[in-house]
Amino acid sequence: MEKPRAVLFDAYGTLFDVYSVALTAEQLFPGQGSALSVLWRDKQIEYTRLVTGSGDGEHYRPFWELTRAGLRYACKRLGLELSPTAQERLMNEYRHLSAFPEDREVLQALKAAGVTTGILSNGDPDMLGVAVRSAGLDGLLDHVLSVDAVRKYKTHPAAYGLGPAATGLAAKQIVFVSSNSWDALAATWYGYRTLWVNRAGLPFEELGTQPTRSGSSLRDVLAFFD
Amino acid sequence: MEKPRAVLFDAYGTLFDVYSVALTAEQLFPGQGSALSVLWRDKQIEYTRLVTGSGDGEHYRPFWELTRAGLRYACKRLGLELSPTAQERLMNEYRHLSAFPEDREVLQALKAAGVTTGILSNGDPDMLGVAVRSAGLDGLLDHVLSVDAVRKYKTHPAAYGLGPAATGLAAKQIVFVSSNSWDALAATWYGYRTLWVNRAGLPFEELGTQPTRSGSSLRDVLAFFD
């Protein structure tokens, strides 16, 4: 099989650690930091599905707004009083998530091999710009693609279609990398070659389709080029 | 405002208690029954969204299959060995969920008032048929509508569109009742009058739209006809 020509990475959870907010959450709400960060993340993803799945884009709102809505819901659900100060502090953390330690070296290795690199993310362009610069990844990414351009969140085919459109390649010539199993699944359905980065040792989705490869860090993407 | 002419009920969680499987789950997996029933339900719903949200119906599978897939995932995630016998026992429980105690009296009151009644559910026709008969609700429902007819799960507009199509009424002449906040939200977006039956005292979704009414049991639907 022809080697892939490009690698597109999911951002949140894949290049950036969405649970790095748990530390600040724990300071603000002792004993609840972990529960809050998990529920916040789950609700944020649920909201992307609700706004995209309930119409033809008319309920779309940028990821930043859905992230804030998810935080508000999660605090109410856990019975936590979210002051405006705490809200801004947590949202600011979300803007500056930690990068995973291997991000740079993997992107550098791909660039050295002449592979096109990029992000294909639910995040809106502002969020992605800040995250990429904070993590020092600018210069290592040929494309930073936001679903905001089509106002449909993953797993909508229009969102995954941004990759072939931007690179001029067929989906099967591109590896899509995600640590989110639902994202790796739907990207496989779309036609990408896929790597599921299973950092937490979770089971894959039980819907009868497997990602092309699974691994435990971004480094495993390099096996596509051996 | 004109009084509504029909009431459509969500089935799972609204007329039937999806957590009634927790007892059997607890017998099979002591200490994990509650966790399993919650994770099973969450995954089942997530799978409806993934198969509907990732294309134009080509990934659709009946609710029964997604329910089984959700059970398998939930057991793997919790590290529980699911024997074929245990799987069939739990699936069988799901086929015969408990009805909520007020189901019959509320449906009878609506029928007595000349209101058209029905179910509009993600469940496939077989599942719904068994559930309705088990609960003794047949004869009290004018319509039992399954999204299987359009191969799109709620919250897709084609799923909600089954209500107006079957009743010949406009969505605004129909009350849609759900205990699932996401379902009440999306039905409101679609144009139904809505009742969110908030049995568990949860916060509503934080997406800027409220259901027409909220209540704590199905009885609250009768307030639309005062």
Residue A18: per-residue pLDDT:
86
In this structure, what token pair is assigned to residue B209?
């739209």
Whether A202 contacts chain B with CB within 8 A = yes
CB contact residues (below 8 A), chain A span 116-175, against chain B: 155-157
Closest by Cβ to A50, choosing from B55, B182, B202: B182
In a 10 Å sphere around its CB, with 0-12 CB exposed, 13-18 middle and 19+ buried, how is residue B30 labelled? exposed
| Distances, alpha carbon A115 to alpha carbons B38, B106, B172, in Å | 43, 63, 54
- Measure CA B165 to chain center: 19
Contact B19, B93 (CB under 8 A): no
pLDDT of residue A199: 95
Residue B217 token pair? 């049991």
| Tens place of pLDDT per residue across chain A (226 aa) | 799 999 999 999 999 998 889 999 999 999 999 999 999 999 999 999 999 999 999 999 999 999 999 999 999 999 999 999 999 999 999 888 889 999 999 999 999 999 999 999 999 999 999 999 988 999 999 999 999 999 999 999 999 999 999 999 999 999 999 999 999 999 999 999 999 999 999 999 999 999 999 999 999 999 999 8
| Pairwise CA distance, residues A60 & A85, whole Å | 27
pLDDT score at A134: 87
CA–CA separation, B36 vs B26, rounded Å?
A: 8
On whether the CB atoms of residues A220 and A195 are closer than 8 A, the answer is yes
- A83 or B18, which is more confident: A83
Any idea which residue has 């009885």 for tokens?
A: B219
Say how many C-beta atoms besides its own lie within 10 A of residue B178's C-beta: 28
What was the pLDDT predicted at B18? Answer: 86
Interface membership of A55 toward B (CB under 8 Å): yes
Residue of A nearest to B62 (CA): A207
CA distance B48 to B59: 10
Domains and CATH numbers, chain A: 6-16+98-225 (3.40.50.1000), 19-95 (1.10.150.240)
CA B15 to chain centre: 7
Other CB atoms within a 10 A radius of the CB of residue A139 amount to: 9
Is-cis flag, bond preceding A155, omega within 30?
yes
Task: Kindly state whether B69 is in contact with chain A, defined as any CB-CB distance less than 8 angstroms.
Answer: yes
Of the pLDDT bands very low, low, confident and very high (cuts 50, 70, 90), residue B33 is very high
- Structure confidence by residue, pLDDT tens digits, B34-85: 999 999 999 999 999 999 999 999 999 999 999 999 999 999 999 999 999 9
Over residues B69-128, the pLDDT tens digits come to 999 999 999 999 999 999 999 999 988 888 999 999 999 999 999 999 999 999 999 999
Q: In this predicted model, which residue has the larger pLDDT, B171 or A96?
A: B171
Contact A205 B59 (CB under 8 A): no
Contact A203 B73 (CB under 8 A): yes
Closest CA in chain B for residue A202: B77
B138/chain A closest Cα distance in angstroms: 30
Is it the case that residue B191 has pLDDT exceeding 90?
yes
Q: Is this complex's ipTM strictly greater than 0.90?
A: yes
CA distance A186 to chain B (A): 6
